[in-house]
């Protein structure tokens, strides 16, 4: 009977973090959950029962440890009414960002390379009636499902944008299904109605085909037609959002320790780590001790694009400075009253995460079926999206892709040193090389920098394709110098140029460096003797090729092994 390995772990943990601790692909954990009828992504938070079941599957006996952050016993009064959090989702190029530009009256597209939204953006809009709404803008491309799902989990209301001249697309369906599974109120927004080929009835019919009936067709789902070209319908859309918000419990507590979600993290060479957060309950104040995952610090600055704050209330997104690293997007943060306790919790978490990492790297350093990668990005959201896409590549191929380090910030000398030690390539997204600045998309040794996420995936697919090609070892070469016809068989007279020609190995025949045949030897003869191998340079011999006789003088025969 095998003895199970013991592992210490917290009462709750995400699939992504558990996969790091176990050094396995997240998809293996996801498949176990799916087999139990639980549809999850890598961000899904596992409870104690699921953790025990999964660890048992992988041969571990679990010991749960306290995280020392417990807010579950605090009673909430729920007297403060916070602004609603509204996430905008939909297929790529259906007008999500343009709509928010109009509402916010600011051009956000300058932030994104090639006018493609590749990050989450979040901001609070003050309205004329003294109300406010917090909006979350999300990317529409299929690669960004992690970012969209993360945004939906902290949302009160979902706006699903459907271009009236395109209709329901693949990511539209994904967003509808995810919003419905989370039981979130949905408002369908039909954009670009100023287009000549706009067809609203067609979209409503497509929605009815998936059991979604809009209000003017006798159903329950609210809709609104809009045009950012002339502003049509946008005021009505705001009114409908506020009307739906009145039906939701938006009350929260202020007199409790502050808690919320990490939206995004980045590194600024002058300011340090900038972390965008959204408060769920409590009040965030300057000087607070804040912790998220393994990262912590004292808040030195709170601000957004409009002003600096001394304190911030729930549902208001702000940037904070003071963390000692870049917390992961989607992680929760807590405010603690004890700095020593904060550091102790961070160290406990760090020990768990790093337990087997160095051992894993050294074990797999020379494995030809593993591609080691160091991933450096502008923000943590990009790290997560690219990591997920890379994990999918690894699952779909025989080549295992191992991300040995992923973080925000420019590429440094320590990254290059780690790459050399671990035989890794460095992938950079929207960042620079501190030690030697070069143009984007140019290789510097084993460093590659990109500005569009899809280009990274195409680049890695190409590497995987090349790695999957057989590793050919050339055993020897011979040159055809004569051709004989004996008993209706062609025998090719050759001279050994180097190495060996062996009957038991495969051969390629090259003519002017082009392969004209890849196959087998039927026989090798020298002075009427049948031989297995010719192994002396300069020897003459005859060879018969299986199922091929179109050889010419000066063709090169290469003997090889895989």
What would the DSSP string read from start to end of 272-283?
Answer: EEEEEEEEEES-
Contact status, residue 89 vs residue 96, Cβ threshold 8 Å: yes
Which candidate, 366, 430, 7, places its Cα nearest to that of 441? 430
CA distance 414 to 421: 11
- Give the three-class secondary structure for 385: helix
- Cα separation, 186 vs 179, in Å, equals 7
Confidence at residue 75, expressed as pLDDT on a 0 to 100 scale = 46
Show pLDDT as tens, one digit a residue, over the chain (562 residues).
456 677 877 777 878 888 888 888 888 888 887 776 676 777 777 877 788 888 888 888 888 766 555 544 444 456 889 999 998 887 767 677 788 888 877 544 444 444 455 567 788 888 877 789 999 888 745 545 667 777 888 889 999 988 888 888 877 888 888 888 888 899 999 988 888 888 899 999 988 988 889 898 888 999 999 988 888 898 899 999 999 999 998 999 898 999 999 888 888 878 889 999 999 999 999 999 999 988 899 999 999 888 899 999 999 999 999 998 888 888 889 999 888 888 888 877 776 655 545 444 444 445 556 788 889 888 887 887 888 788 777 665 666 777 878 888 888 877 787 777 777 888 988 888 876 544 444 444 578 888 888 788 888 888 777 665 566 778 899 999 999 888 888 899 999 998 899 998 889 999 887 888 988 999 999 888 889 899 888 999 999 998 888 899 999 999 987 6
- Among the listed residues 295, 331, 376, the one whose alpha carbon sits nearest the alpha carbon of residue 150: 331
Which CA distances in Å does 268 have to 109, 135, 275, 296, 452? 21, 25, 10, 17, 21
**Predicted pLDDT at 244:** 93
Write the CB contacts of 73 (distance below 8 Å, at least 6 apart in sequence).
none
Instruction: Read off the pTM.
Output: 0.60
Q: Hey, how many other C-beta atoms are within 10 angstroms of the C-beta on 254?
A: 16
- Packing angle between helix 96-104 and helix 234-245, nearest 10 degrees? 90
Residue among 287, 276, 274, 280 nearest 258 (CA) = 280
CA atoms 275, 278, 282, 285: torsion sign: positive
Classify strands 186-191 and 222-225 as parallel, antiparallel or unpaired: parallel
Say if CB 309 and CB 278 are below 8 A apart.
no
**Do residues 427 and 406 make contact, with C-beta atoms less than 8 angstroms apart?**
no
Taking CA atoms, 352 is separated from 22, 65, 326, in Å, by: 10, 11, 18
Main-chain dihedrals φ then ψ at residue 110, nearest 5 degrees:
-65, -20
CA-CA distance, 49 to 529, in Å (whole number)?
A: 73
pLDDT score for 194: 85
pLDDT of residue 301: 94
Which residue from 345, 321, 316, 304 is spatially nearest to 258, judged by alpha carbons? Answer: 316
pLDDT number for residue 365: 47
pLDDT of 356 reads: 45
Q: Which helix (H) or strand (E) holds 301?
A: strand 295-303
Angle 26-35/380-395 helices, nearest 10 degrees? Answer: 70
Roughly what angle, to the nearest 10 degrees, separates helices 453-468 and 380-395?
30
Look at residue 441 in the predicted model and tell me its pLDDT.
40
Whether the CB-CB separation of 257 and 288 falls below 8 Å is answered with no
Looking up tokens 């990254």 gives: 415
């Amino acid at each position: 009977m095998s003895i199970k390995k013991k592992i210490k772990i917290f009462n709750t943990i995400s699939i992504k973090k558990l996969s790091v601790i176990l050094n396995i692909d997240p998809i293996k954990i996801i498949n176990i959950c799916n087999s139990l009828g639980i549809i999850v992504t890598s961000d899904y938070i596992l409870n104690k029962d699921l953790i025990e079941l999964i660890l048992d599957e992988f041969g571990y006996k679990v010991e749960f440890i306290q995280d020392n952050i417990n807010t579950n016993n605090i009673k909430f009064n729920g007297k403060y009414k916070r602004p609603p959090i509204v996430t905008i989702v939909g297929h790529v190029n259906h007008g999500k960002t343009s709509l928010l530009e109009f509402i916010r009256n600011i051009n956000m597209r300058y932030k994104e390379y090639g006018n493609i939204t590749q990050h989450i953006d979040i901001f609070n809009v003050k309205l004329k009636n003294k109300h406010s709404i917090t909006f979350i803008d999300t990317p529409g491309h299929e690669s960004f499902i992690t970012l969209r799902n993360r945004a939906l989990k902290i949302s009160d209301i979902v706006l699903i944008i459907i271009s009236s001249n395109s209709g329901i697309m693949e990511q539209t369906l994904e967003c509808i299904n995810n919003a419905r599974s989370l039981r979130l109120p949905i408002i369908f927004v039909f954009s670009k109605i100023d287009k000549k080929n706009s067809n609203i009835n067609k979209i409503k019919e497509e929605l009815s085909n998936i059991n979604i009936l809009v209000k003017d067709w006798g159903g329950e789902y609210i809709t609104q037609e809009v045009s950012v070209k002339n502003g049509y319908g946008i005021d009505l859309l705001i009114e409908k959002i506020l009307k739906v918000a009145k039906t939701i419990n938006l009350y929260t507590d202020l007199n409790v320790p502050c808690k919320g979600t990490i939206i995004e993290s980045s590194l600024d060479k002058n300011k340090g780590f900038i972390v965008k957060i959204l408060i769920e309950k409590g009040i965030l104040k300057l000087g607070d001790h804040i912790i998220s995952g393994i990262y912590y610090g004292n808040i030195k600055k709170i601000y957004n694009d409009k002003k600096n704050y001394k304190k911030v209330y729930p549902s208001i997104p702000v940037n904070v400075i003071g963390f000692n690293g870049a917390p992961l997007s989607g992680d929760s943060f807590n405010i603690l009253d004890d700095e020593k306790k904060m550091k102790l919790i961070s160290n406990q978490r760090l020990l768990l995460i790093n337990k087997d990492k160095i051992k894993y790297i050294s074990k797999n350093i020379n494995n030809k079926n593993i591609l080691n990668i160091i991933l450096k990005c502008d923000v943590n959201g990009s790290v997560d999206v690219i990591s997920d896409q890379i994990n999918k590549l690894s699952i779909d191929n025989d080549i295992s892709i191992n991300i040995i380090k992923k973080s925000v910030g420019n590429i440094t000398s320590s990254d290059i040193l780690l790459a050399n030690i671990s035989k890794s390539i460095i992938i950079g997204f929207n960042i620079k090389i501190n030690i030697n600045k070069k143009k984007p998309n140019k290789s510097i040794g084993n460093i590659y920098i990109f500005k569009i996420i899809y280009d990274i995936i195409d680049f890695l697919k190409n590497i995987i394709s090349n790695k999957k090609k057989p590793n050919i070892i050339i055993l020897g070469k011979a040159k055809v110098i004569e051709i004989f016809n004996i008993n209706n068989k062609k025998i090719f007279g050759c001279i050994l140029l180097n190495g060996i020609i062996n009957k038991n190995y495969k051969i390629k025949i090259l003519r002017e460096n082009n392969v004209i045949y890849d196959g087998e030897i039927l026989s090798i003869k020298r002075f009427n003797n049948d031989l297995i191998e010719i192994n002396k340079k300069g020897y003459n011999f005859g060879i018969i090729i299986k199922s091929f006789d179109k050889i010419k003088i000066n063709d090169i025969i290469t003997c090889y092994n895989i």
